[in-house]
Structure 1
Amino acid sequence: MKRLQVGFTLSKNRRIALLCVFVGMFSLMRLSGNSQNLNVPKNAPVFSNSVYVGNDKIYNDNPLKVGEFYNPILQGAYPDPAITRKGDDYYMVHSSFAIFPGVPIFHSKDLVNWTQIGHVLDRPSQLKVHDTGISAGVYAPDIKYNANNDTFYMITTQFAGGFGNIVVKTKDPLKGWSDPVKLKFDGIDPSLFFDDNGKAYVVHNDAPDKGKELYQGHRVIKVWDYDVEKDQVIAGTDKIIVDGGVDLAKKPIWIEAPHIYKKNGRYYLMCAEGGTGGNHSEVIFVSDNPRGPYTPAPNNPILSQRHLNPNRTNKVDWAGHADLVEGPDGNYYGVFLGIRPNEKNRVNIGRETFILPVDWTGEFPVFTNGLVPMEPKLKVPAGVANNTGKEGFFPNGNFTFTDNFTSEKLDYRWVSLRGPREAFISTSKQGLQVNPLPVNIKEVKPTSTLFLRQQHNNFSYTTTLNFKPASEKELAGIVLLQSEKFNYVYGLTRKDKDFYVVLERTEKGASRIIASKKVDNKKPIQLRVKADGDNYQFSYSTSGTDFVNVGETVSGDILSTNVAGGFTGAMIGLYATSANDAHPQNLVQ
């Protein structure tokens, strides 16, 4: 994807100080997800009865029949998929930016039923995003299994912590990953290729040679020889193998996300082209040598939705950033990102992971039906049963996700921002207790917020909150977050002796109170947000049955990448802070 131009230049003393603070904070944790050793205020908020319900019309209108499954396979902000295979096991990873832990990893036996087995970067030594904006951090990971040494590799670009391009590895993705090795090259979107003769290579996106940039968005693909023993590129072996894209005369932009595959003794280089928006596509090249020269296929692009009617129903758009794998039926499949905008063409649920069969019976692979409007359903591979949403498999379509936070291990779908979850949460029979850090959601710091991804255009989210704020500086409730500068805060706070629910809108970093209501806080209060496409409504209940709206319906515009920019989808967070600045006002209801 087209990347932000980000720079991180901290003084040595400040880096050391931040690291010491972070290490000290981490030392308090129990990685089980149940942190009973935190110094938590007596009135710390407790969340329980968390219920997310998705209700998109497309799934109601297209019920599954036997032998079918829904596309996308992962709904919500799981962009930039990369996939690998070892025997009958498939592993897939995704970009995570400043989310902590980073790089969600999923496992499947059949490409239909997926289980999240954790995150690749799950500790502060691997992921240093504590002082960066939400759309920086970890971009475009690639996962590869090297049969030559029976090892899995994950290579990525981390725009934070002084890392740049890094690689981690493991013998077993279920048992955790190594600390990162910083790789000695610039650029983004690195990918590894392990040839069957034992040699290894890295390909990545980079700027053209100095003085040779021809237009804005002009990029190149480079290849390096890779030393598997030292886990490092070999100095002096870098070579440009694609300049600009398929046809430099047409000024193609953002050739990126390269992958090399070997089939029938030839080497195929597949890349995204056109940027991660409406002009996104996937293109392919071929060579007799992994170091090129590469010749583009005559039928490029092999995947795109950019030439279709923009007003088509059930639109899937921005298709690209793909990776290929051989399926359990011997045929090829490609995973890739796409978006499903709402009725105002806004992208609130972010870039999701789709899959299509790939026809590789000719010289070049082509995504089956990848150039026509995509359908919401696909046929399962031969011999595969669709068990999504059952037996621990990740759900898709319309589903309900309920969590009372009473289990010892927190569900992998719950993530935090810039810092470990265990630094501010503990679970008990009463629910999830959140220690309110003195950090506001608008600050570029680790916040005491536990997030789920928004996974539908139409959804409701409800939680029960037990909280007695001691002052107006304390607030707990729900945050809908696109970024630190674009979000809604909806929570319970205090003014003098009274308790209020307050709704705040932040756009371009400027906040204003939309509505506030005095409430009876003698018993736990239920907070709810409901979205009908671009329309979001906030409400509460003190009776457990009747919900009262707080303010009018508001627009979800600031929760879309169209308005907010960046690369993430909207996040639904359980938020607590002792640095609240959303104060009740006497507004007309």
Structure 2
Amino acid sequence: MPAFQNPVLPGCHPDPSVCRVGDTYYLVTSSFGYFPGIPVHRSTDLVHWELVGHVLTRPEQAPLAGLDVNDGVWAATMRHHAGRFYVVATVARGRRGASTFVVTATDPAGPWSDPVPLEADGIDPSLFVDDDGRCWFTATRDAPEPAVTGPAELWLRELDLATLRLTGPEHVLWHGALRGAWVEGPHLYLRDGRYWLIAAEGGTERNHAVTAASAPAVTGPYATDPRSPLLTHRHLGPGHPVQNVGHADLVDTPDGATWALTLGVRPVDGAHTLGREAFLVPVEWTERGPVFAPGTGTVPATGSTGLPGPTAPDDRPGGAEVLTLDAPLAAQGWSSLRGPVDHLVRPADDGRGLALTPTAATLWGTGTPALVARRQQHLRFRLRCRLAFATTSSHEEAGVTVLLHQQRLATLAVSAGPDGEPVARLRMRTGDVVADLAGVPVLERDAIVELVVRGDEQSYRFAVVLPGGDERVLGEVPRTAFATETAGGFLGVHLGVHAQTTGTPTGARAVVSHVSYEALEDRAADPTDVPLVGSTRG
């Protein structure tokens, strides 16, 4: 049986929710301001996950225009019952739940129904179908008396699966195990006649933890499991390679084993850039309840599920992933911001690449720019992009970006200098402050220029391969500049290609002829120690 290496879904895949149908498992994660929303992955062994579709593929399903990229679609839960899949999720605005909805499908790859709004406060919705077929909706919200109960409460109400409406009375279930901590991420399970409420507490940072309560009836009363937290890494010290562990969902295998999918981060020197990733943890049920990672109490680095699957993971170092430019980009794991960009990013007329039309919607705004991006999934990587862009305006650019969110990003892009001649520029944006780090002439207006980004433990390094093969490293940005610990937010770094304008469009379009992403084993395999033109390092 194949072994696994955690995380099983690397890169920004937070808030994992999993369900099983037969011998197949399905997983959804948060998508925030990226479109299409709520990626759906499929697996037969809980280890190797294949992207099979998205829940929100039509802009009217989840209007995201004007939102901070850290808002948008939060913490979806997927469940299956009687031949139909259900997903509930929240759309957040201003870091608070603004609306909650449910969608359905008979095929998790889609298409999914239009969202049905639910009269539900708060965030982190979940569904539980009891043995009698009744479906129960749970979520977390602000507690009315935080000084008495704590800041949040988990609540429950029945969901009528025929009408997709909440019905009957509300039941407040639990205020959490940790005094003063926000309780969230509730999921309900029935085991040996007792209902188990698994939740997350401590915030999605270093104090994150999995806690639990149980009850004789689905509506309560729930008693805190005195063993809480059942899983956390907060006591392991800052040097442990996995931190922020929490927000777990459980699934049983056909042979009766139980596994948890939980989020975590992999900081280096106290800072992480890949975002919250999905980790696999064994769970054993005892007479006292679930035991996470029995024998160790920590997320395992490696293991085996004992389930049939591929013999080797396909997301580890060992070859470049080349973007197929004339195939659907979303199916290859590339996303846009807040809506579709088919009218801005499309196959070139001659079929020899991907044409990007610069738009006034910028990367640092809250619109839908001409951008397609993929998650950074490895600390050490190389992104290559070959493009031609014959603009004569210094206000237009097309190139590559390292994007954490709209207030923290770097671009290496082809534009025009003051004399109208083409130039490649490296810029770094921190809030409203833009630093012009370096520039180099491109020499020929219609020439194909290769832009390269390399990342490692120390920095992101940006280079240009000029016509004739001469490579110039323009500069580097410290890796920590894109870390959540310094820049804030809920996301991991995305790497993309873009085109934008801050002036009057000239009508020029960028044509991308190659994009590839490659995981690198080590720095020795990536010799780039050449003089820098510019850098943000002191």
TM normalised by structure 1 equals 0.81
| Aligned mate of 1:309, from 237, 240, 244 | 237
Residue type at the aligned position of 2:405: S
In structure 2, which of residues 466, 474, 478 is the aligned counterpart of residue 542 of structure 1?
466
The residue that corresponds to 1:126 in the other structure is: 61
Aligned 8 A contact 1:303 1:320 in 2:
yes
Q: C-alpha deviations, 1:190-228, integer Å up to 9, x for none?
A: 10111121211111101112xx12189711111112222
**Contact 1:190/1:258 (8 A) holds in 2:** yes
Matches within 5 A, 1:150-169: 150-159=83-92, 164-169=99-104
2:270 is equivalent to residue 335 of structure 1: no
Deviations 1:208-261 (Å, cap 9, x if unpaired)?
12xx121897111111122222211125x1121102x115xxx24121000001
Map Cα deviations across residues 311-332 of structure 1 (whole Å, 9 max, x no partner): 24xx011011010001244200
Q: 2:380 aligns with which of 432, 437, 458?
A: 458
1:448 and 2:380 equivalent? no
Contact 1:328 1:381 (8 Å CA) reproduced: no
Q: Secondary structure at the match of 2:13?
A: coil
- Which fold has the larger relative contact order, with Cα–Cα distance below 8 Å and residues 6 or more apart in sequence? 1
Aligned equivalents of 2:256 and 2:467: distance in 1?
57
Cross-structure match for 1:555: 478
When the two structures are aligned, how many residues end up with a matched partner? 501
1:386 aligns with 2:386: no
Alignment pair present for 1:203 and 2:138: yes
DSSP 3-state at the match of 1:366: strand
Gapped runs of 5+ residues in structure 2?
A: 505-532
Counterpart contact for 1:105–1:119, Cα < 8 Å: yes
Aligned residue identity for 1:402: V
Q: Secondary structure at the match of 2:59?
A: coil
Return the match for 1:292 from 174, 197, 220: 220
Quote the Cα distance in structure 2 between the aligned partners of 1:431 and 1:307: 51
Aligned counterparts of 2:427 and 2:233: Cα–Cα separation in 1: 37
Cα offset, 1:116, TM superposition: 0.6
Go from structure 1 to structure 2 and tell me whether the alpha carbon gap of 1:560 and 1:538 turns closer, same or farther (over 3 Å shift): same
CA distance in 2, matches of 1:288, 1:139: 30
State the distance in 1 between where 2:451 and 2:182 align: 43
The alpha-carbon deviation at position 421 of structure 1 amounts to 3.0
Task: Report if the CA contact (8 A) 2:122-2:139 is conserved.
Answer: yes
User: Measured at CA, do residues 129 and 299 of structure 1 come closer, stay the same or move farther in structure 2, by a change above 3 Å?
Assistant: same
Whether the 8 Å CA contact 1:302–1:370 is kept in 2: the answer is no
Residues 329 and 382, structure 1, Cα contact 8 Å, conserved in 2: no
Amino acid at match of 2:290: P
> 1-side partners of 2:339 and 2:308: how far apart?
42
TM-score normalised by length of structure 2: 0.88
| Residue aligning to 2:292 | 367
CA offset at residue 537 of structure 1?
1.0
SS of structure 2 residue aligned to 1:185 = coil
Counterparts of 2:484 and 2:35 in 1: how far apart (Å)? Answer: 20
The C-alpha deviation readout for 1:491-523, integer Å capped at 9, x for no partner, is 000022311111111112221211112222352
Contact 2:293 / 2:300 at 8 angstroms: preserved in 1? no
Deviation of 1:370 (Å): 8.8
Residue 345 of structure 1: aligned partner: 270
- Partner deviation per Cα, 1:128-186 (whole Å, 9 max, x = no partner): 10110100000000001123xx2211001112599601110112212311001111121
Which residue identity does 2:102 align to in structure 1? V
Q: Which sections of structure 1, spanning at least 5 residues, go unmatched?
A: 1-65, 390-394, 582-586
Find the residue that maps to 2:46 and give its secondary structure: coil
C-alpha distance in structure 1 between counterparts of 2:130 and 2:149, whole Å: 34
Deviation at 1:403, TM superposition (A): 1.7
Structure number with the higher strand fraction is: 2
1:107-139 alpha-carbon deviations (Å, 9 max, x no partner): 112212221111101111212101101000000
- For the aligned residue pairs, the C-alpha RMSD in angstroms reads 2.3
Q: CA deviation at 1:550?
A: 0.7
CA distance in 1, matches of 2:501, 2:473: 25
**What code does the residue aligned with 1:246 have?**
A
Indicate conservation of the 8 Å contact 1:440/1:580, yes or no.
no
Between the aligned partners of 1:398 and 1:519, the Cα distance in structure 2 is 32
Equivalent residue number for residue 565 of structure 1: 488
User: How far did residue 540 of structure 1 move?
Assistant: 0.6
State the percentage of identical aligned residues: 32
Check the 8 A contact 2:54/2:109 in 1, yes or no: no
Output the CA distance in 2 between the equivalents of 1:382 and 1:88.
Answer: 9
Which secondary structure state, in structure 1, belongs to the residue aligned with residue 342 of structure 2? helix
After superposition, where does 1:176-187 map in structure 2 within 5 Å?
176-187=111-122
CA distance in 2, matches of 1:373, 1:572: 31
Q: Is the 8 A contact 1:458 1:530 kept in 2?
A: yes
